[in-house]
Each structure stands twice: as structure tokens, then as C-alpha cells.
Structure 1
Amino acid sequence: MNQFAQKVQLGRMSMWSANRDRKSNPDYLPTALVSDIYSGVEQENQAFAQQLQKNLTGKIAESAKLVTASDITKDELQKPDDPATSPYPIWSKEGVYLAQTKIVWRHNVYEAKWWTKGDAPDSPILRAEEPPWQLLGPVLPGEKPLPQLTLPEETYPKWAEETIYKAGQRVMFEGIAYEAKWWNKNENPEVALTNFETSAWKALSQEEIKTILEEK
């Protein structure tokens, strides 16, 4: 690790669990047991830290007041997202997004964890599991819109009124593929795009469509 850090000129290298980097005391705790205060191997105090910092001159105190600056300027962040340079559609407050749908918002790419509408991807949160969006990363220079995959009309039967559908059956409606969530009859699949929770149908995600196309 020390040699690698010097070779690639890492800006910073730190050590996890430094409190265990000290000589074990067998009179206090058997070395065969995992401890949070001893390494469990024969060594002198700070032996691992000394090897790790060999020929490295940086000090924690010297870096404590440094502030990391973003590569993106404030003016760039305030610029609206450009559909021509975004790999996915720009998020809209009125839009309906299914699980695994990717969008762009404020120059970042997000993926929906479940059906969502009106939830801004960058809303302040208290816990990581709360938001319906997962940040994937920034939009990279030179990116272009990725085509949204669709299935041919003949992939599945067209949805028909009065037909009974069982859970798992798939149909086509207005060029979109849907899968029945439970037994239903006279339940228009298009309702899934605006009210997913109560609809008997779910539209297939881009990942599901991709898998189907690859299997053909």
C-alpha cells in the first residue's frame, strides 16, 4: 500500500482502526480472540502505521483545515439541465417514474428505487432509505441522450376489455408493455402510469425490456 501510494502520488492515505495497531497483551486478552484494542499478532506499537507512512511526509494536522472544492462551478450548477447533453430524460415534478427508471436532475443521474411522482431527487433527507431516488453519479462531459427501449407491438397480445388476466400475464397497450400484478378484468393498464399503487398493472421497466430484447 505504501509503495502504491507513492507510485500514483495519492493525495491522502489513512489507516482504519489505528487503535488496534499496538502490541498485544496476552495477560489481558488471549491473542486467539479478536480484539478492538490489540492487533492479535506479534508486533511493536504502531508497527503498521510506521510501515504505511514510510517516506510519506504528510501530517493530519496540516490537512485538517483544507477545504475540498468542487470541479463544477456555482454558475454551472445553476444552469438548467440540457436534454441534448443528458443521457436520460430531465426529471419533472409532473412526471411518473417507475422503479429502475433513470433521470437527470441538476447535472446528476438518479435511478428510481420504486414508483414515484413529485419527489425531487435532491430533496433533503434524514435517512438514506427514505428517498425514492438513488444517486448514480454526475452527467459526464460529451454524454448524449440514450434511446428509450420499446418492444414491438406483436411481443404480447393487445389488452382487451372483458378479458380475464391472471398475475404475471403481459399485454401491450398503446405501445407499452404491461404485466398484471393480480387477477383483473376491465382494468385499463394505462392507469399504472398515474396511480401505480392501486392499478392492477405495472409497466415493464427499461431493464426488463432490455432483457426481453436480448433474449430474442
Structure 2
Amino acid sequence: MLDKNGAIQKIFILENTDVRTKSTGEIYGVTGVLAKSTNYSQIHDVFLPEKLIQKFKESVQKSIIVRKYSQKEDGFISLTDSSTIMDTTDDISQEDITKFLNPDIVDIATIKTKKRNERVSLQGIVEKSTRIIETPQSSRKIYTIADTSGNIDVKFWGDKTSLGPFQDGTNIKITALKVDQYGGRCSLNSTPSTAVQINEDYDSLQGDVQYFIYFTNVSIQFQMID
């Protein structure tokens, strides 16, 4: 872990701060940010103490300077009670923001080649789901989503468990998910920016296509009889 007690880091708060509880009962916050040190090119998860949660939520510009923090090699940033933050001017483009809050849809086979913490969106069919699993620290619900390239578990955390429920066979689009790689297995986690859209047009379009194919076959048979 890199100790940045004397350094200054400029970050852009990308999304709302999730409030969580440790097994010890300690309250802490988690949010996703873009950092000047990586030219706003990747998302860093920031873990912050309870005393800083409100300051993050109230930041007007969403761009802040952080002093006294630690950063792991995988990019995770941790703040402590001794960390200080200060609002600053915004120098990030809307394009940089959008590509993380609304990433492109990719198929599941491609998702499984992504690195941990990358953001993706997907579209597929709900194969199965679990009940909401509650613990003292968190709640989650898991959907298994499939497309023509494979299937993958998508974990909805915290208040995102209220999205749905989605019945088996429903075609949905899910945006702003975070890739997780653990024990050689890839899955997806919800983020504060995750949104779900039921793809109702898909079913009606599929029905129209089947109808057209049916009558095309009839036409072919009629010509063969002649």
C-alpha cells in the first residue's frame, strides 16, 4: 500500500456514496471516483470514514482535493479521520464522465475477459434469481443473466436489490456494472449508478420475425406445389 500522507490527490466524485457497516458496527462510505493522477482514465473505489461521508455528499463541484490518504496498487483509495478534503474547480469533461456512468453494452464472453473493477453494461435474458440475502453488513440479490455467448451472475447490492423483481425469461438491459474476478470466476456487481430497463420491444420484435418466417415458408411451399 502506498502511503500518501504528504501528497495531494485531485478526484472527481463520480457517483453517490454508499453507506455501509463493518462487522464491528463501524460506519463507513464507499464511492467511485476518477483521479487526476490517472488522467481520469479509470475508476477508483474510495473508502472513507463516517465523518467524511456528509462532506462528500455535499460537495457542490464534485471535484475535490484530498490530503492524507493511502492507495493500494490495484487503485483502491482509503481515507481516514485525519484525511482532509477541499472543494476545487472542475476540469473533467462530460465525455469522461459519461463513458463510466453509461458504458457500452458488450456480450458476456467479452465481459469475462475484462479486468476487475472495469465498468460494463449488458443485455440478456434472466435465467434465474435468488431471494434477497440479508446480513448485518449488507443485502444482496443475485440474477443469472444469459446471452448467446454465455451466462454470468449479476449481484445487486444494498438499495439496488429493490430493482425488480425480474421474472425468469425477462429480457433486460443493465447499465453501469462493475466486473469482479475471484477464484477464477467472473461476476458483476451493481454500482450506485446501475440502472435496469426491461426490453419489452425485444419480445414484440421476436414475435413479428417468427410471424414473417412462417408466412415465407408457406409461400415457398405454395410455389413448389405449382
TM-score normalised by structure 2 residue count:
0.23
Greater relative contact order (Cα 8 A, min sep 6): structure 1 or 2? 2
Choose 1 or 2 for highest CA Rg.
1
